Amino acid sequence: MINLSEINSTKLDHPAAFHNGSYFSFNQFKRQVNFWTGVFLKQPNKKFALYSHDTYPFAVLFFALLQASKQIWIPGNNLPATARELEKLGCQLIGDWLEKFDYQLTKQSDNQFPLIDLKNDVVVLFTSGSNGLPKQVAKSIQQLQNEINCLEKQWGHELEDCQIYASVSHQHIYGLLFRVLWPLASGRCFNSQNRWYKNNHQSICWISCPAHLKRLDFYAAWIDLSKVRMIFSSGGVLPCLVSEAISNQYSIVPNEIYGSTETGGIAWRQYPSQTWTLFESLKLDAEGDDVLLYSPYLPDANGYLIEDSLQFEADNKFKLLGRKDTVVKIEEKRLSLTAFEFLLTDSVWVNEAVAIKLITNRECIAVIAVLSEEGQQYKNDFGRKALIDILRLKCLESFEALFLPRKWIFINTMPVNSQGKIDKLLLYYFFDLNTKKYPLVKQLSLDNQSVSLDIKVSKKLMYFADHFRDFPILPGVIQVGWVEHFAKLLLPIHANFSHMEVIKFIKPILPGVELNLKLDWQPDKGKLTFGYTLSGEVVSSGRILYR
């Protein structure tokens, strides 16, 4: 293992990374880091916000900033709002904040610089706080060094000369460790982009997450799975059915990692085991209902309060019982949302479920569910209400009637963020829509460039009062407004409205009707096509163009 503080003084000539169709050696990497170090040393600013779509240029800038004794802030995205907040905090933006940033990978230098100081808190990562807003987490290079030393000790002998591929972002702690720092420190070549190149390398390690592994049929067309020797997964619990399918089909058992941005990795497991094994040199202590973690990946010797409920077993093993903050009160009675989700997914009708507590005019439970084939078929044959009735009966087997969900949304796939975690803020949003301004969403299907929503037009919409008093219909401008609203929320549209074309309002939309809204985004043309249908018949349609 190469110490991170000495990574730029190590003399190696084998490939460090595969980027844009070419291999870059460790010596090239070192000289490119030296060039950028010279650039950063001339900058008076101490804080730099680093964002790069590709991993190799990220690694070059990351180590150059370390070598120049700068503080590196690593946000999860490069959205304009994020840029504004970081600039308010005194950060200078570097990388893909603007189009076509020049990484100058052809420029190199042989200058010598002092070793990197491992002890300073020089890396700032972000994680969602209890209110869903980004929370800053400072790390020293020593903490990160301790963790990759542990990873190499645990799995280095199995990885040997594997080339590292990943479908998760390096802008979060898991990707930073597994696809940047660990490969560089262990001398393994990593792939810079989130796509699979056809090359002659025979052994591959795939850094993934549950959201991607659940869609392995899609990735099978993207990767050569015959070359995959190891798979790592983190960001959430990998369902046993997924692990079993991968094991049976590809003879690979994924290694699951349990941890967080604050703690780093805590434990690991492999199917069929349901228990987690604590990483070496870590310790867990129970104090009443609280569990404290002691780890060399933490900033000091004080224990860190774990936010999950654990059931301890022998030999540093434990079971996860769910997050403590998933225990809610409904009419002063406690309910574990995790247990509720487990009950639903234990049925033949549901593959995934997220239960949330809503506070409107009364407290209630709402559920977002991905149906199984059986569940979808039952819904098609007997209707949405009949399926909900069956699921409510299932809930009554274990829970009181007051806990029965009052709102349901069926979805084809759970929306995820850049960490591969379920985007719960988006799910909350659909239940929190103002039904005087927006329709009720009943079913949602998501794809990369298209969305299909089954919606109900509430009779209480504010627009019906004046349009028109004796014959209320939904105004065309509101229909277009809904299109824009849901498109910007669910599709990767980062452009400004230009104009509309071929807009057709064929039939009036009346209060109380149930419609399907289909949105198709063509990013290369900047066109958003929409259509509202009622019982399969188009009632309005058109295109919105963005510049």
Highest mean pLDDT of the ranges 2-11, 39-48, 248-257: 39-48
Q: What is the CATH number of domain 4-322?
A: 3.40.50.12780
Q: In angstroms, what CA-CA distances link 270 with 5, 274, 336?
A: 33, 8, 26
Cβ-proximal residues to 500 (8 Å cutoff; 6+ apart), any chain: 480, 542, 543, 544, 545
pLDDT band at 130 (very low <50, low <70, confident <90, very high): very low
Backbone φ and ψ for 35, nearest 5 degrees, come out as -60, -50
Q: How far apart are CA 517 and CA 511, in angstroms?
A: 16
Q: Helix, strand, or coil here: 435?
A: coil
Choose among 162, 152, 271: nearest CA to 210: 271
- Report the predicted TM-score, pTM, of the whole model to 2 decimal places: 0.70
Q: Helix, strand, or coil here: 505?
A: strand
DSSP string, 342-358: HHHHTSSSEEEEEEEEE
Q: How far apart are CA 282 and CA 267, in angstroms?
A: 9
Residue boundaries of the structural domains of the chain: 4-322, 331-432, 450-547
Q: Residue 77 corresponds to which tokens in the numbers above?
A: 């995205």
- Cis peptide upstream of residue 272 (ω within 30 degrees of 0): yes
- Work out the average pLDDT over 18-26: 92
Q: Helix, strand, or coil here: 163?
A: strand
- Cis peptide upstream of residue 57 (ω within 30 degrees of 0): no
Q: In angstroms, what CA-CA distances link 99 with 20, 52, 471, 530?
A: 17, 11, 50, 29
Q: How far apart are CA 71 and CA 85, in angstroms?
A: 16
Q: Has residue 197 got a pLDDT over 60?
A: no
Q: Helix, strand, or coil here: 447?
A: coil
Q: Helix, strand, or coil here: 305?
A: strand
Q: How far apart are CA 2 and CA 134, in angstroms?
A: 32
pLDDT digits (tens, 9 = 90+) for 388-428: 999 999 888 888 888 899 899 999 888 876 666 777 778 88
- Work out the average pLDDT over 95-102: 86
C-beta separation of 429 from 418 below 8 A? no
Domain 450-547 has CATH 3.30.360.10: no
Q: Between residues 429 and 157, which one has the greater pLDDT?
A: 157
Q: Has residue 192 got a pLDDT over 80?
A: yes
pLDDT digits (tens, 9 = 90+) for 440-463: 899 999 887 899 999 999 998 989
Which residues are registered as beta bridge partners of 293? 284, 304
Residue count (the chain):
547
C-beta separation of 313 from 286 below 8 A? no
Supply the pLDDT for residue 133.
52
Give me the helices (H) in 45-139, please. 55-67, 80-88
Which residues are registered as beta bridge partners of 278? 267
Q: How far apart are CA 385 and CA 266, in angstroms?
A: 43
Residues above pLDDT 90, as percent of the chain: 56
Q: Has residue 198 got a pLDDT over 60?
A: no
pLDDT digits (tens, 9 = 90+) for 319-357: 887 776 677 778 667 788 888 888 898 889 999 899 988
Q: What is the CATH number of domain 331-432?
A: 3.30.300.30
DSSP-assigned letter for residue 193: S
C-beta separation of 205 from 190 below 8 A? no
DSSP-assigned letter for residue 115: P
DSSP-assigned letter for residue 501: E
Q: Has residue 128 got a pLDDT over 70?
A: no
Angle at 144 between CA 105 and CA 117, to 5 degrees: 75
